[in-house]
Structure 1
Amino acid sequence: MMTRSRLPAPLLGLAVALLSAVPALAQAPAPAARTATQAKKAEVSDVLKTPRPAGGEWLGLYLMDKKVGYFFTDLSLVPGRTDQVRAINELVFKATVGSKLSERVHREERIYEAKPRGKLLSFVVEQRGDGGEQRLEGTQTPTGLRVVRKRPGLPDEALTVKASPETVEDADQARVAIYRKTKVEGTITDGTDLESYKVTTTMEPAEERMVRGVKVRLSKAQTISEKEKVPVVAYVTDEGEMVEVDFGQTMKARAESEAVAKRMDVVEVFGLTRIVLPKQLPAEARSVPGRAVMVMTGLPEKFQQDTYRQKYVKLPEGRVEVTLLADVPKPANLKPLPVADPEGGENLKSTIIVESDNAEIRKLAKKLTGTEKDAYAVAKKIVGWVATNLEKDYGASADRASDVLRQKKGDCTEHSLLTVALLRAAGIPSRRVDGVVYMVNEDGVPAFYWHEWVEAYVGEWTQMDPTFNQLVADASHFGVGQEGNAEITPLIGQLKVVEVRDRPTGR
């Protein structure tokens, strides 16, 4: 059976991040929408000096050349005002998983001061479909960014986070960089976790391409967020039309009419994105201790970092031998609660998503811990509780740990999210792991499918899979990222397994 029915976390993370990390990236300029009188009246940001079409733009979103969604994006002065700018961005991401349709709608509206380096004043983020329904209303105040979370049938929640340093130029860094012909740096407050991340846009050499049968010169701007770390390249004609946005080799956005943008392919996402193996993994991969050995292509060097679970040996012609290992933690290394985070505290942090300081999550963590002092023993209790108490419902998704606990059902993402929240509440450093897991589905084809599990520090790091109730994640798990980070998205469609070996031979 499939590991989940929601859209793979790396894909959805990248798609949503396009709105929060580079909100107006796809805005195409056109004949000037700003008059000379307005320019003289007040000093305005360069983001308004770039002409753009009235009414916004539509771009189709393609995954491995299959239509999976679309963007709508618009940036202009707030109607009736000359001192404020409004950026509107909406993403629809849709695909099937097995026999079920999975859809996510993410819409953001941000208001800024119109002057140079004008401050972010407020925002509204609306989410529907896969992941649940909610509305976040944020307002800058003297004490920070106040956010009210609204959900159907539940009381509103209010919290204050660190003030956002985001400015109006960050609403359209690509366009500003092209206008200035220089690098632009800034910060974006992410619309999902409310954290602020550095974003940088640089100019790339211009290219000539065929656009609608005519060869045209295209300016290029590359944007990178410190959160996603995926280069996003925008192509713009001299006349100001945005014709394409590339997110690595996996995803592209193309300028289209509204009608064409909304016309999507029927895409079975797990069949499209799975990694087929030339033969089945050996039985040893399913045991603990266990091992699996493969030869891969399409794995960039930055992912080839040896860990306690994964070893790499470079081979000729761009190939790499990968050895996956699984074993229980060494008893001599185990520590009592609470366990200090070896990475400075990030893996014990409560966030708007993990919510390890939520009263109900803390109460359950305390109950599961009981009088037990050994961190690994507690971690196993938590993983076992989540595995047996969450209904395996691949059509029920939630983006917050408290929502997962309330509904007690979900797929691998929900299992991992609640597990990490409980582990942190119990004083155990932990994080989610994104990668692939080996399965042979109904069609009999051995393959890796995108999956999520957890890693806990109990005196040493150990990986655990609450979806499959594995107290040690077996060697059929290949991890390539953490916390739903879209950095691994370019691997989709590029990573290949060309050989399955019985034992390592590259050393």
Structure 2
Amino acid sequence: MTRTPLVAPLLGLAVVLLSAAPALGQAPAPAARSTAKAAAVSPAISDVLKTPRPKGGEWLGLYLMDKKVGYFFTDLAPVPGRPNQVKSINELVFKATVGSKPSERVHREERIYEAKPGGRLLSFVVEQRGDGGEQRLEATQTAEGLRVVRKRPGLPEEVRMLPASRETVEDADQARVAIHRKATVVGTITDGTDLESYKVTTTLERQEERMVRGVKVRLHKAQTLSEKEKVPVVAYVTDEGEMVEVDFGETMKARSESEAVAKRLDVVEVFGLTRIVLPRQLPAEARSIPGRAVLVMKGLPEKFQVNSYRQKFVKLPDGNVEVTLSADLPRQASLKPAPLADPDGGENLKATIIVESDNAEIRKLAKKLGGSDKDAYTVAKKIVTWVATSLEKDYGASADRASDVLRQMKGDCTEHSLLAVAMLRALGIPARRVDGVVYMMNEDGVPAFYWHEWIEAYVGEWTQMDPTFNQIVADATHFGVGQEGNAEITPLIGQLKVVEVRDRPSGATGSQAPAGR
């Protein structure tokens, strides 16, 4: 059994909300609006302080498919005693059940900026607790770049030097800055999970009327898009500066609430809530190598319909899409020795704070497993087999860092994939994680797709492998829609449907795309 890998992408998407639009909650009291008047006197103060916001922070509930799975606390204000600095505080709590195990994550960020227009990000602290592990990141801008100290219980401190962050104080609340300026805001966010910097853009859309607490109100509408998550985050804001709702498509919403209401959560089993039920079982051929499965899907946006060596798409007259999933061994003639250049320019060989392919213990183990073999596919099979047979399958033993997975030696699909990718990259084999769904029948006997994560390795051509189920070729029960735990897949949750399982393709010709190898 695999745990749904949705918790991390949902967390990442929620952090975009926190970073780009932290001022959410109840209507600002008159005292809170005084900030704008004070700011108007001093032209040296950023626009982020010229917009009204509730005094003392705000609370909002987080809903997944109309089920309460978490809440936020956010605040942004001048630093007491330091009027030339601004502090942004954002805390996210996520609680749900994954299978039979409870999953709880707490992600808290405090960021300090210069208060002047275009003020620099000076420092930040990120604290993570619960499912995924515990750690504290303390980052400071220095003349040499961003210095990050990583602290974990029982382990020595780690220091990383990263390029200087280009994030400014306006990026702490792009939505309200855009509304204040009546213009698009473009900036950069240094992500609190992977420490990479991403372009973030907020644009204004046409105002919209909605019922707010029984009263029809005309709301400003600001859309924020991160180049990492690629999911539009739409905020609805009153003339008085209250952000009453934030939408992440149809899947996830944040709603302004009192503290007591925000903390009142539903009991949600994410694994079952987000599955995609099939009208009948997949044929036995889907489990074979070579193998095939043919499905008719509804609710699959066109951007996901990219033909590859594993997935072919045909648009049907009724608006649905026929999807042919296939699996086969990589072509013998294409196999090459490691190390290999990354055909995508280097991202799939990169060591990061999450993948950690530069970790000494990971490198040592990967080299031992690879042995004297040079053929990249042979080595990749050894790595995948070792991960599949050595890690204990444990639904609730999550870890968000490859070194943590190696230390605890247990986990679900996300941990298996993360460690396998880290070891492959350590040996110079380009690799990445694949997010999507896999076919299973659980105890209730219902044929369904469940959210899953596996890997793709470049061994002279790309090939998908599943280190959770010990498949050296991921069979045709796997349908991939994203990469690297990215939140881009979240709008599919609750929208994607399988309306038919076919025995063979229709034979129609769909729009062709590069094969993806």
**Structure 1 CA distance, aligned partners of 2:259 and 2:230?**
30
Partner of 2:76: 75
**Is 2:453 the partner of 1:452?**
yes
SS of the equivalent of 2:83 reads: coil
Distance 1:497 1:25, change over 3 A: farther
CA RMSD of aligned residues (A): 1.4
> For residues 29 and 179 of structure 1, what CA distance do their matches in structure 2 show?
17
Work out the CA distance in 2 between the residues paired with 1:230 and 1:392: 31
Residue 381 of structure 2 aligns with an amino acid whose one-letter code is K
Partner of 2:12: 13
Structure 2 counterpart of 1:16, one-letter code: V
Aligned position for 1:483? 484
Q: Give the deviation of 1:13 after TM superposition.
A: 3.0
1:501 aligned partner: 502
Q: State whether residues 70 and 261 of structure 1, in contact with CA within 8 Å, keep that contact through their aligned partners in structure 2.
A: yes
Unaligned runs of 5+ in 2: 509-517
Output the CA distance in 2 between the equivalents of 1:16 and 1:214: 30
CA apart distance, 1:367: 0.6
Larger displacement relative to structure 2 (236-245 or 197-206):
236-245
Which residue identity is paired with 1:96? T
Equivalent position of 2:203 in the other structure: 202
**Are 1:238 and 2:248 an aligned pair?**
no
Greater shift after overlay, 94-103 or 63-72?
94-103
Aligned ranges for residues 393-408 of structure 1 at < 5 Å? 393-408=394-409
Contact 1:74/1:87, CA 8 A, preserved across alignment: yes
> 1:318 matched to which residue of 2?
319
Assess if the C-alpha contact under 8 Å between 1:29 and 1:51 holds in 2.
Answer: no
CA distance in 2, matches of 1:367, 1:23: 47
Structure 2 partner of 1:250: 251
> How much has 1:238 moved relative to structure 2?
1.5
The answer to whether the aligner puts 1:4 opposite 2:7 as a matched pair is: no
Conservation of the 8 A alpha-carbon contact between 2:96 and 2:267: yes
Query: Tell me, what secondary structure is at the counterpart of 1:270?
Result: helix
Q: Which residue of 2 aligns with 1:283?
A: 284
Give secondary structure in 2 for the equivalent of 1:83.
strand
Query: Once the 2 structures are TM-superposed, how far is the Cα of residue 15 of structure 1 from its aligned partner?
Result: 2.5
Farther off after superposition, 475-484 or 52-61: 52-61
**What residue is the counterpart of 2:65 in the other structure?**
64
Aligned residue type for 2:369: L
Conserved? CA contact 1:382–1:423, under 8 Å = yes
SS in 1 for 2:198: strand
Displacement, 1:168?
0.1
Q: Distance in 1 between matches of 2:13 and 2:119?
A: 27
Moved over 4 A (4+): 35-39
Letter in 1 for 2:97: T
Whole-angstrom CA distance in 2 between matches of 1:227 and 1:7: 16
Q: Could you tell me the percent identity over the aligned residues?
A: 82
Q: Deviations over 1:463-499 (max 9, x none)?
A: 0000000000000000000000101110000000000
Q: Work out whether residues 454 and 463 of structure 1, in 8 Å CA contact, stay in contact via their aligned partners in 2.
A: yes
Give the TM-score, by structure 2 length: 0.96
State the shift of 1:239 in Å. 2.1
Deviation of 1:130 after TM superposition, in Å, equals: 1.0
Instruction: Give how far 1:23 is off.
Output: 5.3
Distance 1:287 1:212, change over 3 A: same
Paired position in structure 2 for 1:176: 177
2:38 and 2:463 mapped to 1: Cα distance?
A: 64
- SS of 1:328's equivalent? coil
- Mean Cα deviation higher: 361-370 or 459-468: 361-370
Output the TM-score relative to the length of structure 1: 0.97
The answer to whether the 8 Å contact 2:99/2:395 transfers is no
With over 3 angstroms needed to count, the CA separation of the structure-2 counterparts of 1:354 and 1:139, relative to structure 1, is same
Is the Cα contact below 8 Å between 2:59 and 2:74 reproduced in 1?
A: yes
Answer whether contact 1:209 1:218 (CA < 8 A) is retained: yes
- After TM superposition, the structure 1 = structure 2 runs for residues 204-223 of structure 1, keeping only pairs within 5 Å, are 204-223=205-224
Question: 1:92-241, aligned counterparts within 5 Å?
Answer: 92-241=93-242
Q: Contact conserved, 1:416 with 1:467, CA < 8 A, in 2?
A: yes
Which deviates more from structure 2 when the two are superposed, residues 341-350 or residues 470-479?
341-350
Which residue type is aligned with residue 199 of structure 1?
V
Distance 1:26 1:294, change over 3 A: same
- Amino acid of the structure 2 residue aligned with 1:295: V
Structure 1 unaligned blocks of 5 or more: none
Query: Residue 434 of structure 1 contacts residue 451 of structure 1 at CA under 8 Å; is this kept in 2?
Result: yes
Q: Does the CA-based 8 Å contact 2:36-2:52 persist in structure 1?
A: no
**What is the match of residue 515 of structure 2?**
none
Query: Relative to 1, partners in 2 of residues 1:29 and 1:197: Cα closer, same or farther, differing over 3 Å?
Result: farther
After TM superposition, give the deviation of residue 323 of structure 1 in Å.
0.4
Match of 1:440 in 2: 441
Matched-pair contact (CA < 8 Å) for 2:12–2:193: no
Deviations 1:313-358 (A, max 9, x none): 0002220000000000010000011111111111111111101111
In the TM superposition, what is the alpha-carbon distance from 1:12 to its structure 2 partner?
3.1
Q: Hey, what does 1:378 align to over in structure 2? A: 379
Change (3 A) 1:216 1:35: closer
- The answer for the alignment partner of 1:334 in structure 2 is 335
In the alignment, what sits opposite 1:472? Answer: 473
Any idea what SS the aligned residue of 1:61 has?
Answer: strand
Paired residues of 1:95 and 1:102 also in contact (CA < 8 A): yes
Asked if the contact 2:18–2:74 (Cα under 8 Å) also holds between the matched residues in 1, the reply is no
